[in-house]
Structure 1
Amino acid sequence: MMADALEFRHEVARYLATRLTYQLARPLWFARLAPLHRVRRSPPLPTRPGWVRLRVRLSGICGTDVNLVTGRDSLYLEPEASYPFVPGHELVAEVDADGLRPDVADSPLQAGTRCAVWPVLGCRARGVAEPCRPCREGWEGMCERRGDEWPGRGIGIGFNCETGGGWSHACLAHRSQLWPLSPRVADEDALLLDPAATALAALLRSEAAEMERTLVIGGGTIGLLIAYLHRVLGRPGSCELLVRHESQRAWAEHHGVAATVVRGASEFRDWASARRMRAVRVIGYGYVFRGVYDRVIDAAGTRSSVTQALQAVRPRGLLVMVAAPPTLAGVDPTPLWYREITLRGVYVYGPVPWKGEWVHPYTVLLPRQEAGTLGLRDLITHTFPLDAYSAAFAALVHRRGSGAIKVAFRPGTAEA
């Protein structure tokens, strides 16, 4: 049986068209410019031990996906995908009875089992007999054996031509990637486990006892979740959040997070002045700030957010990058060496320090969702069927008008 899917292809001309249009004439940009195609595909079949077919219930659009479709992602990441692929690494799905292999059927995974997915493909999922050192230690995102075994070099579900992804009715996953869900956890909450794991990694891997003041820059899903988890998990010190849109500020404050809307340089100066950050104007340069925050986490990944982070962090403080622009052209790196700022990157797919141990992020998050103490579903502001993908991306690109925070696809529905 054929089913709808969205397929991203390696088409240079269309990629350049979407990139240039987005950069030079954003109001004219629309998703159909991108090398993203609505296609009809046969559901993939699991032919390898330990693999199952999933029926997708809900799949998110993350910042990486938006950068991919608008042409803003770094070409450094191109070797991490295999083409053509179906995007969608954030997904909630159920085990398909027609795609349940006998070697999996005797496990807790049964037909209809609803699961959250850990999308990265490490040595275990690839069936590597002798796992690499990062995978042995739980750092599957740093796997050194990508491409050595099936399903090839694509880093994970949603970037791999063999497994498929969540922007379809069905995809493949290895049983080690599946986390069965309690009936107490709604699909919408489970969908946010992957971005919440990113937020948790940014928060916990960069934490130190002497940190009294944390600033998070970025009001997308990750930035909101970092500030929210700082509060609900009772992490030390204070945490503030800078966002660009009123809908983001409203969500944050509804959940007990202090947030300020800052859209440009003048608003940033006013915000900084209220926090007694010294600023000196330099002709031909702009303003030089003396930051006051022990840790600044950049979850926006733009040149302006990196600049603001360098301005806000104190001398010898810590700058954490959860996202980054494809180029830092126009960003002055002088504060890094002159003020001895430590720069740290965070990539989600590995363990986090928790109560004296390094554990899988889902083991921290999922029990709280089951207990009802980590409700995240209201971050999802819009859902669309696959055939309305252009409208889905329009809502994300024009957040100020749409009020969108998290947007997701429901593959089983159709556009009205």
Structure 2
Amino acid sequence: MKALTYYPSIPRFLAARALGKRFPSSWAPLRLVELPEPEPPPGWVRARVRLAGICGSDLALLFGKNSPRLSPFFSFPAVLGHEILAELEGSRVAVNPLLACAERGLEPCPACARGEEGLCQNVAEGSLAAGMLGYNRDLPGGWGGWIVAQPERLHLIPDGVPDQRAVLAEPLAVALRGLRRAFAKGDGYGFPGSVLIIGAGTIGLLSLALLRALGYRGRLDVVARHRMQADLARKLGASGVFASSRNALENIGAKEYKPILGPPVYRGGYEAVIEAAGSPSSLEAASWATREGGTVLLLGAAGEVRHDFSPHWFSELTWKGSYTYGRADFAYAVGMLPELNGLEELVAPPFSLPAWRHALAAIRQRRVVKAVFTPSNP
């Protein structure tokens, strides 16, 4: 099968950091290679990939934005792609890509025992190399023709859900998990009176759609830097869409102060802010856009950044970080797909694997929100 494989290289990593913005695909350490179709281990199944998304974490890896401190928990070279819609015996399935204790032949760690495989203590232990599907040298991810998985990791897509909505199941589970961590109370949700989402990429827009689907009717504003993102945010139920957090804070009536150095700071912002962009500037903006005593939900993978922590303690903010999902989060996200009409508008027409440079350029040039691959294998 043909597969897009990431080959780590320190010189290319440094080149991608330095030149990735100017040459968005030239320095990406990817190769389209021919690999044998994977053989499923005993008790596993093999599924044909229909669509596989390009995630922000994939881009961070390709363009040198990931923290090297996380390197023990992934293994390369690897076929990338962890947002996977596959087909098994004629049925469409969303693939939970986690490789936790069960897949590694280990007794459940405390996190896995309570269904929180995203917090598995053994992601670099056991019979498999470190990392989940898409970041694992032993098993291929979705940027190829086939994947193998345990049957428990495959979730049937409900009838009537288009493929380009179904391929969003994995990032939808990420957003759902984050919202649950930030706002769940008892058997329901204790939503704040006002929420600002900074970043209108896939995770930001999915968070917006989920909040509305979960019943949040309060003020829900979005910072979107690009017109396509802004249009989608309005369609998905944003109360207001702003070009910057400063514009959003002015609109909500926060008071601006000018420090002796640096950009303005604020008092009286939003009760909760979802940071979904994963950049130094968005992290800084989220810190000051949150009202005193409020909550910041970190869904953007910011990596290594220099950051002023003054508002964390000065405004007594609660910070919640979220990375993947638990078993129930993924299943619940798949079950919500039928009611999330319009999400497929986030997904551009699929790119073939040989067109990977065009796919990366389209993302970096903000011509698409979500790019996906369709395997070229028959």
TM-score normalised to the size of structure 1?
0.85
Q: Which runs of 5+ in 2 are unaligned?
A: none
Distance 1:83 1:270, change over 3 A: closer
Task: Work out the CA distance in 2 between the residues paired with 1:153 and 1:270.
Answer: 43
Aligned match of 1:52: 45
Q: 2:25 aligns with which of 31, 36, 39?
A: 31
1:28-57 per-residue CA deviation (whole Å, 9 max, x = no partner) reads x132312111111111111x2221222111
> Is 1:276 matched with 2:243?
no
Task: Work out the CA distance in 2 between the residues paired with 1:81 and 1:149.
Answer: 14
Aligned match of 1:200: 176
Task: Work out the CA distance in 2 between the residues paired with 1:291 and 1:391.
Answer: 43
> Is 1:362 matched with 2:330?
yes
**What root-mean-square deviation, in Å, do the aligned CA atoms of Structure 1 and Structure 2 show?**
1.9
Secondary structure at 2:261 match in 1: coil
1:373-394 per-residue CA deviation (whole Å, 9 max, x = no partner) reads 5442111024200000000000
Task: Work out the CA distance in 2 between the residues paired with 1:149 and 1:230.
Answer: 38
Distance 1:269 1:376, change over 3 A: closer
Distance 1:32 1:170, change over 3 A: farther
Distance 1:150 1:43, change over 3 A: same
Secondary structure at 2:223 match in 1: strand
Q: How does 1:210-225 map to 2 (within 5 A)?
A: 211-225=192-206
Task: Work out the CA distance in 1 between the residues paired with 2:341 and 2:103.
Answer: 29
Aligned match of 2:353: 386
What is the Cα deviation at residue 92 of structure 1?
0.8
Task: Work out the CA distance in 1 between the residues paired with 2:117 and 2:213.
Answer: 27
Aligned match of 2:362: 395
1:47-83 per-residue CA deviation (whole Å, 9 max, x = no partner) reads x222122211100001001111111111122112111
> Is 1:172 matched with 2:172?
no
Aligned match of 1:285: 262
Q: 1:123 aligns with which of 98, 101, 120?
A: 101
Q: 2:161 aligns with which of 174, 180, 185?
A: 185
What is the Cα deviation at residue 282 of structure 1?
2.2
Task: Work out the CA distance in 1 between the residues paired with 2:248 and 2:161.
Answer: 39
1:190-209 per-residue CA deviation (whole Å, 9 max, x = no partner) reads 11011111111122221163
Aligned match of 2:36: 42
Check whether the contact 1:212–1:294 (CA below 8 A) recurs between aligned residues: yes
Q: How does 1:305-324 map to 2 (within 5 A)?
A: 305-324=282-301
Tell me which amino acid in the other structure corresponds to 1:173.
A
Distance 1:54 1:32, change over 3 A: farther
> Is 1:411 matched with 2:375?
yes
Aligned match of 1:296: 273
TM-score normalised to the size of structure 2?
0.93
Task: Work out the CA distance in 2 between the residues paired with 1:379 and 1:398.
Answer: 15
Q: How does 1:335-346 map to 2 (within 5 A)?
A: 335-346=311-322
Task: Work out the CA distance in 2 between the residues paired with 1:271 and 1:240.
Answer: 7
Secondary structure at 2:39 match in 1: coil
> Is 1:325 matched with 2:302?
yes
Aligned match of 1:357: none
Tell me which amino acid in the other structure corresponds to 2:294.
G
Task: Work out the CA distance in 1 between the residues paired with 2:246 and 2:196.
Answer: 15
Aligned match of 2:9: 11
Check whether the contact 1:219–1:249 (CA below 8 A) recurs between aligned residues: yes
Check whether the contact 2:80–2:134 (CA below 8 A) recurs between aligned residues: yes
Task: Work out the CA distance in 1 between the residues paired with 2:281 and 2:268.
Answer: 16
1:208-250 per-residue CA deviation (whole Å, 9 max, x = no partner) reads 6362111111100000011111112213633211111110010
Task: Work out the CA distance in 1 between the residues paired with 2:171 and 2:207.
Answer: 10
Check whether the contact 1:79–1:153 (CA below 8 A) recurs between aligned residues: yes
Task: Work out the CA distance in 2 between the residues paired with 1:187 and 1:20.
Answer: 36
Distance 1:170 1:413, change over 3 A: closer
Aligned match of 1:350: 326
Check whether the contact 2:242–2:248 (CA below 8 A) recurs between aligned residues: no
Secondary structure at 1:317 match in 2: strand
- Which protein is bigger by CA-based radius of gyration? 1
Work out which structure has the larger RCO, using CA pairs closer than 8 Å and 6 or more positions apart in sequence. 2
Tell me which amino acid in the other structure corresponds to 1:314.
R
Aligned match of 2:222: 241
Secondary structure at 2:371 match in 1: strand
Secondary structure at 2:212 match in 1: helix
Q: How does 1:131-142 map to 2 (within 5 A)?
A: 131-142=108-119
